[in-house]
Amino acid sequence: MPIYEYRPSEKGCSYCTRGFDTLQKMSDAPITCCPRCGNGVRRVISRFSACTVETADSPSLENKLQDYESQGMWSHAAELADKSGLQDRAMDDYKKAGYNF
């Protein structure tokens, strides 16, 4: 279920003036009144973000690693490999970048 954000249509109480969010089904009608003071409220479009995770078997990850390595950007390749769970490859790239472990 999505979380919807509401703001007052006019001046309202301290609760709705700051704005509030509520968990609703997509099929539910929008809330029209503040649950505390009864003032009119409207639903607003909120910012959202999406998270994508690249796994070790992702073709785009392999392409990025190969690109960094072909350009001699060993520390970039090592950091990316390390974050992706490819510790052996990360260690090799760190050594090529001049780090001693």
What DSSP letter does each residue of the chain carry, written as one string? --EEEEEESSS--HHHHH-EEEE--TTSPPP-B-TTT--BEEEE-----------TT-HHHHHHHHHHHHTT-HHHHHHHHHHTT-HHHHHHHHHHTT---
Bridge partners of 42, per DSSP, are 7
The model's pLDDT over 22-80, given as tens digits with 9 standing for 90+, comes to 888 889 999 999 999 999 999 987 776 666 666 666 688 889 999 999 999 999 999 99
